[in-house]
Amino acid sequence: MYAPKPILAAITLATSFVSAVLLPETGSNIVQRQVQVPLTFGNAQWIWTGEEAGAGGIAPIGSRGFRKHISNPSSFVLPVCLTLAVAADNEYVLYVNGFNIGNDFAGFISGASFLDADIYNIPLNPEGENVIALNVTNGPGPTDVPNPAGVIVTGIIEFSDQSQEVLVSDSTWLTLASDTPAGFMQPNFGDSAWIAATEEGLDGVAPWGVTTIVPTNVIGCLNF
């Protein structure tokens, strides 16, 4: 039976964190909660800092931070799991609640890490603040000149009552039009001076085209 007491969930969160990030596991006693709705980039926006010249226009080379706070619907409905798809131009490091969850540096090599999204299944902190943080770096490209930059995210948050909610990158995400500051990934990092991210267009918009999500990687979190 799922829906653990919150305190128990908080204790098991720490121990289940590593194995959950290393999904998939196939042990016979492990029950995976399936995401109930398809994970798509449908309403997700490519976002950046506003430094770009128009939607998908050129942006300075360098790293920019992005933060998204996940709010609890009520003190009785607690967020327990996040399934997330991320793609970036050119590369990113993903953090949730200060933990380094994963990265994709392929964009520096191939220039095309935005063609396929990376999928993550991440336990959330049911009782505290949950913050997604991305350090996204716009690479120099072959000619070392400013070039398009963006990041696109879609996710499904699962709550303790097994309800699910879609989360997408849009102007509710916070960013800074300057180098990603040290410590930016910590949930309690002071971001009151951060600005709303600029929307560059939906999945499919030039110059990125359609970004693929492989459904078999969308598996939800371990039933801890």
Ligand X SMILES: *[C@@H]1O[C@H](CO)[C@@H](O)[C@H](O)[C@H]1NC(C)=O
Q: Which is nearer to Ca ion, 56 or 187 (CB)?
A: 56
Binding to ligand X in span 40-69, by CB under 6 A:
63
Total of residues contacting ligand X (CB under 6 A): 6
Q: How far is the CB of 90 from Ca ion (least distance, A)?
A: 5
Q: How far is the CB of 204 from Ca ion (least distance, A)?
A: 18
Which region among 87-95, 98-106, 124-132, 161-169 touches Ca ion (by CB under 5 A)? Answer: 87-95
- Residue 122 and residue 133: Cα distance in Å, rounded? 13
Which region among 20-28, 45-53, 92-100, 141-149 touches Ca ion (by CB under 5 A)? Answer: 141-149
Which region among 12-20, 176-184, 196-204, 215-223 touches ligand X (by CB under 6 A)? Answer: 176-184
Q: Which is nearer to ligand X, 137 or 169 (CB)?
A: 137
Residue type at 122 in one-letter notation:
I
Which region among 6-14, 80-88, 146-154, 214-222 touches Ca ion (by CB under 5 A)? Answer: 146-154
Q: How far is the CB of 135 from ligand X (least distance, A)?
A: 4
Residue partners of 184: CB distance under 8 A and separation at least 6 = 65, 67, 133, 135, 191
Cα–Cα distances in angstroms (integers) from residue 111 to residues 32, 123, 203, 208, 210, in the given order: 34, 31, 17, 11, 15
Contact mark string toward ligand X, 96..135, x via CB under 6 A:
---------------------------------------x
- Within 124-163, strands assigned E span 130-138, 147-148, 150-159
- Residue 31 and residue 63: Cα distance in Å, rounded? 38
Q: Which does 135 bind (CB under 5 to 8 A by kind): ligand X, Ca ion, none?
A: ligand X
Structure-token pair, residue 37: 């709705």
Pick the binder of Ca ion from 90, 97, 125, 137 (CB under 5 A).
Answer: 90
Q: For residue 221, which of 2, 21, 15, 74 has the smallest C-alpha distance? A: 21
Cα–Cα distances in angstroms (integers) from residue 91 to residues 27, 49, 85, 115, 171, in the given order: 33, 15, 14, 12, 20
200 binds Ca ion (CB under 5 A): no
Structure-token pair, residue 31: 């029950």
Q: Which does 90 bind (CB under 5 to 8 A by kind): Ca ion, ligand X, none?
A: Ca ion
Q: What is the DSSP letter of 35?
A: P
138 binds Ca ion (CB under 5 A): yes
Report how far Cα 134 is from the mean position of its chain's Cα atoms. Answer: 7
Task: Give me the residues that bind ligand X (CB under 6 A), please.
Answer: 63, 135, 137, 180, 182, 184
